[in-house]
Amino acid sequence: MALDSKVPQGPIKDKWTDYKNHIDLVNPANKRNIDIIVVGTGLAGGSACATLAELGYNVKAFAYQDSPRRAHSIAAQGGINAAKNYQGDGDSTYRLFYDTVKGGDYRSREANVYRLAEVSANIIDQCVAQGVPFARDYGGLLDNRSFGGVLVSRTFYAKGQTGQQLLLGAYSAMNRQIARGKIEMFNRHEMLDVVVVDGKARGIIARNLITGEIERHSAHAVVIASGGYGNVFFLSTNAMGSNVSAGWKIHKKGAFFSNPCYTQIHPTCIPRSGDYQSKLTLMSESLRNDGRIWVPKNMEDVLAIREGKKKPIDLSEDERDYYLERRYPAFGNLVPRDVASRAAKERCDAGYGVNATGEAVYLDFASAIDRYGKEQAKIHNITNPSKEKIYELGQAIVEAKYGNLFQMYEKIVDQNPYETPMMIYPAVHYTMGGVWVDYNLMTTIPGCYCIGEANFSDHGANRLGASALMQGLADGYFVLPYTIGDYLSDDIRTGKISTETPEFEAAEKEVTERINFFVNNKGTKSVDYFHKRLGKVMWDKVGMSRNAKGLEEAMAEIKAIREEFWKEVSVPGTANEMNPELEKAGRVADFLELGELFAKDALMRSESCGGHFREESAELDGPQKGEAKRNDEDFAFVAAWEYKGEPADAVLHKEELEFKDIELKQRSYK
């Protein structure tokens, strides 16, 4: 099948405007006769539901949580990017586009990214109008802070609760449409299959997670907004319920998957403390604005700290290695996430990790507290302030900016991060790959769309911090409502889609048989037993550091785990009740299939990019022939591209190659 990205012709800065000027539209009277299913009600799905319903479409929204407010989008802490240049520090649409493409190791689709940068400013206006309480400066203007991989301040934030506040804005917009009857909300429902009729997505099969009832739902189009699949690693910063199932079901019905092996490794996660853990906790990247990352210079100090004979505050500045500031002086502690993660792993692999497992580095706020304290003393005309007073004043500023994050850290680790440096370590976070979509956000199944983290298009091999919320809301509020109308303009005379068809019957039968297998199988091992085994293989052999031998071993091991899973998995309870173990069984079954594809994709790429380092180099065939080189001095990665014939999309586009060669020749953070 030949992939067609449907990227409009012309200069990249004019593509979106020209596209909107020439697409087909559905008039308001006809929108009332068209149904759209949206699976997932996080920022991407919630904003899409609200906007599509506001336009007049009939929307059916599905969430496996008890409320859209529980979507994992609430976990986003640090902020949302937008090219408004409020700081007057040189930001622009082009610079946001450039930083995003560069930070993604040039693996993203440039036309989508430029559109994302264009609409980013509109997102902030939309959210302010909804009452989102963004932080403001003393003059009342919206405040900004900086994130990794950029040289400007473009991140809007609401303390460390930005995702939650943005989701409440989208949820309030949804509630308005629910009250008007334009959104039919299905809480505690999980999509278990997509139904394709005459080659078009026409509905889904869903399970009521409270009663166990299997339901058929039809629509003229289906939108997947189900988030990422980081839990394929078992331990990740994702919520326990986050899964790949919706995206995987449409993949098995014909939707292509793209770049599954690109996973973002977040550098500021609370380190693992034992084998009993079921998830990891993220500390916002915004902390790197004021926190300095270091490890001891001397191995004897490392060992003394691990044994409890020394505290980190006992080490002088000369005894500390601020390795990011040393290696990347221009960006310092604000290098992109992949660079920071690789550097932390390198230091820990070299033996300088500071906790009992040897998997932690310090994130230290002492300098920031001192700096802010002295500044506040000046502002308040305090002459010759004591160290205690400087500390008190400085801590108040840090607490105002990051207080809830510090509180969360102290509750988990039982250490006061104002008094002793935080410990952090890289962890699986956001997924770069996902369902392949064209410029319209449509998958290779006509009528089936995929938005937000669930698709592959905007972030390449690595996502800049604060860009996840930007993509989710851009797709939902400002992109999909245009692009889906162009497709639905052909459906204004179709009428209601019947669920009494052979396609719906076959899909429901397949779903029911799978559920019955799980509850009737007489296995001896729990779902988590298999999930943990999969996660260990994924992290050890398909994670940050990979090689051909390990990837081949991983594929064989995952296959063996999957075969054992179908023989030995045990699911207590029945199908006709609320049964969390049954839900997990279906999701882990999908993870086991994805895991093998994930490893296969990684094996076929002899490149180091994003958060992944390929330990040996080999040539690739086809349009993505890459030679990855490692600079041992600074761990920057450079990819050399060669264009051969027509691209297989999702990789390179003809008109964009010139741009790459001219503007983005090399990535460097020196």
Lookup: tokens for 597: 């594809």
Closest CA to 488 of 195, 206, 223, 204: 223
Task: Let me know: does 292 contact 276? Beta carbons within 8 Å.
Answer: no
Closest CA to 51 of 457, 495, 473: 473
Burial 181-209 (b: 16+ CB within 10 A, else e): ebbbbbbbbbbbbbbbbeebbbbbbbbbb
Q: What is the DSSP letter of 479?
A: I
Q: Parallel, antiparallel, or unpaired for β 422-431 and 545-546?
A: unpaired
d(CA 30, CA 56): 9
115, 337, 342, 562: the catalytic one is 337
Closest CA to 611 of 432, 484, 439, 476: 432
d(CA 2, CA 649): 9
User: DSSP readout, 251-280?
Assistant: HHTT--EE-TT-EEEEEEEPPP--TT-S--
Distance of CA 248 to the CA centre of its chain: 17
d(CA 13, CA 393): 47
Residue 359, number of CB atoms within 10 A of its CB = 20
Q: Parallel, antiparallel, or unpaired for β 189-197 and 200-208?
A: antiparallel
Query: What value, to the nearest 5°, has the Cα angle with vertex 154 and ends 369 and 338?
Result: 80
Closest CA to 39 of 58, 61, 59, 65: 61
Closest CA to 485 of 454, 440, 436, 435: 440
Which backbone phi and psi does 631 adopt, to 5 degrees? -100, 110
Residue 557 CB partners (closer than 8 Å, separation 6+): 537, 541
d(CA 93, CA 283): 28
d(CA 110, CA 604): 23
CB-side exposure of 387: number of CA atoms within 13 Å? Answer: 2
CB-side exposure of 191: number of CA atoms within 13 Å? Answer: 29
Lookup: tokens for 8: 């409009």
Which backbone phi and psi does 194 adopt, to 5 degrees? -105, 145
> If you search the block for the tokens 């889904």, which residue do you land on?
204
Task: Let me know: does 441 contact 480? Beta carbons within 8 Å.
Answer: yes
Q: Is 430 exposed, middle or buried (0-12, 13-18, 19+ CB in 10 A)?
A: buried
Query: What value, to the nearest 5°, has the Cα angle with vertex 665 and ends 664 and 667?
Result: 75
Is 70 considered catalytic here? no
Distance of CA 234 to the CA centre of its chain: 16
User: DSSP readout, 561-588?
Assistant: HHHHHHHHB---S-SSS--HHHHHHHHH
> If you search the block for the tokens 């429901």, which residue do you land on?
508
3-state SS, residue 388: helix
Q: In one letter, which amino acid is 340?
A: A
Closest CA to 23 of 487, 534, 567: 487
Catalytic residue ranges = 337
